[in-house]
Chains A and B, each alone.
Chain A
Amino acid sequence: MNLLQTHATRLMGLSVAVPQHRVSNERLPQLSPTECQELITYVGIRYRHLSQKQTLSDLLRPAVQQLLKKCSVPAQEVGLLVLITQTGDQQVPNTAIGLQHILDLPTSALCIEINMGCAGYVYGLYLVSLLLQSLESSYALFLNGDISTLLVKEHNKGVLPIFSDAVSATLLTKDEKAEPWSFCLNNDGKDREAIRMISPNWEDPWAFYPHASLHVDGTVILSFALRQVAQQVRSFMHKTSCSEQSVDYFIFHQANRIINESLRTKLNIPAHKYPYSLYHFGNTSSATIPLTMASELSVPLSTRSSDLLLCGFGAGLSWATALLPKTPPFEILPIHHV
Chain B
Amino acid sequence: MKQIMHDMILSIFQKELSDESLNLHTVYMDHPQWTSLRSLLVLSEIERKTQCLVPPEIFKNSSTIKELANQIQNLSS
Q: Would you call A223 an interface residue if the criterion is a C-beta within 8 Å of the partner chain's C-beta atoms?
A: yes
Question: Would B41 and A262 count as touching, CB distance under 8 A?
Answer: no
- Rounded to whole angstroms, the CA-CA distance of A223 and B48 in the bound complex is 12
Question: Would A222 and B48 count as touching, CB distance under 8 A?
Answer: no
**Interface size grouping (class) on chain B:** 10 to 19
Q: Which of chain B's residues has its CB closest to A261's CB? A: B44
- Find chain A residues with CB under 8 A from B37 CB: 35, 38-39, 42-43, 218, 258
What is the minimal beta-carbon distance from A262 to any residue of chain B, in angstroms?
5
Q: Which of chain B's residues has its CB closest to A219's CB? A: B56
Question: Contact flags (1/0) for B43-67 with A, using CB distance below 8 Å?
Answer: 1100110000111100110000000
Chain A residues engaging chain B, CB cutoff 8 angstroms: 35, 38-39, 42-43, 158, 217-220, 222-223, 226-227, 256, 258-259, 261-262, 265
Question: Would B36 and A158 count as touching, CB distance under 8 A?
Answer: yes
- The SS class assigned to the A binding surface is helix
Q: Would you call B75 an interface residue if the criterion is a C-beta within 8 Å of the partner chain's C-beta atoms?
A: no
Question: Would A262 and B47 count as touching, CB distance under 8 A?
Answer: yes
- Find chain B residues with CB under 8 A from A222 CB: 40, 43-44, 56
Q: Which of chain A's residues has its CB closest to B39's CB? A: A219
- Find chain B residues with CB under 8 A from A158 CB: 35-36
Question: Would A223 and B40 count as touching, CB distance under 8 A?
Answer: no
What is the minimal beta-carbon distance from A160 to any residue of chain B, in angstroms?
12
- Find chain A residues with CB under 8 A from B53 CB: 223, 226-227
Point out the residue from A35, A219, A227, A265 that lies within 8 Å of B40, measured CB to CB.
A219
What is the minimal beta-carbon distance from B53 to any residue of chain A, in angstroms?
5
- Find chain A residues with CB under 8 A from B43 CB: 219, 222-223
- Find chain B residues with CB under 8 A from A219 CB: 36, 39-40, 43, 56, 59-60
Chain B residues engaging chain A, CB cutoff 8 angstroms: 35-37, 39-41, 43-44, 47-48, 53-56, 59-60
- Rounded to whole angstroms, the CA-CA distance of A39 and B36 in the bound complex is 11
What is the minimal beta-carbon distance from A232 to any residue of chain B, in angstroms?
15
- Find chain A residues with CB under 8 A from B40 CB: 218-219, 222, 256, 258-259
- Rounded to whole angstroms, the CA-CA distance of A43 and B39 in the bound complex is 12
What is the minimal beta-carbon distance from B72 to any residue of chain A, in angstroms?
13
Ranked nearest first, the 4 interchain pairs of A and B with the lowest CB-CB distance are A219-B56, A262-B44, A158-B36, A220-B56
Question: Would A262 and B48 count as touching, CB distance under 8 A?
Answer: yes
A/B interface sample: 12 pairs, CB < 8 A: A35-B35, A42-B37, A42-B41, A158-B35, A218-B40, A219-B60, A223-B43, A223-B56, A226-B47, A258-B41, A262-B48, A265-B48
Add 14 more A-B contacts to A222-B40, A226-B47, A256-B40 (CB < 8 A).
Answer: A38-B37, A42-B37, A43-B37, A218-B37, A218-B40, A219-B40, A219-B60, A222-B43, A222-B44, A222-B56, A223-B55, A223-B56, A262-B48, A265-B48
- Rounded to whole angstroms, the CA-CA distance of A265 and B49 in the bound complex is 12
- Rounded to whole angstroms, the CA-CA distance of A227 and B52 in the bound complex is 11
What is the minimal beta-carbon distance from B25 to any residue of chain A, in angstroms?
22
- Rounded to whole angstroms, the CA-CA distance of A220 and B39 in the bound complex is 11
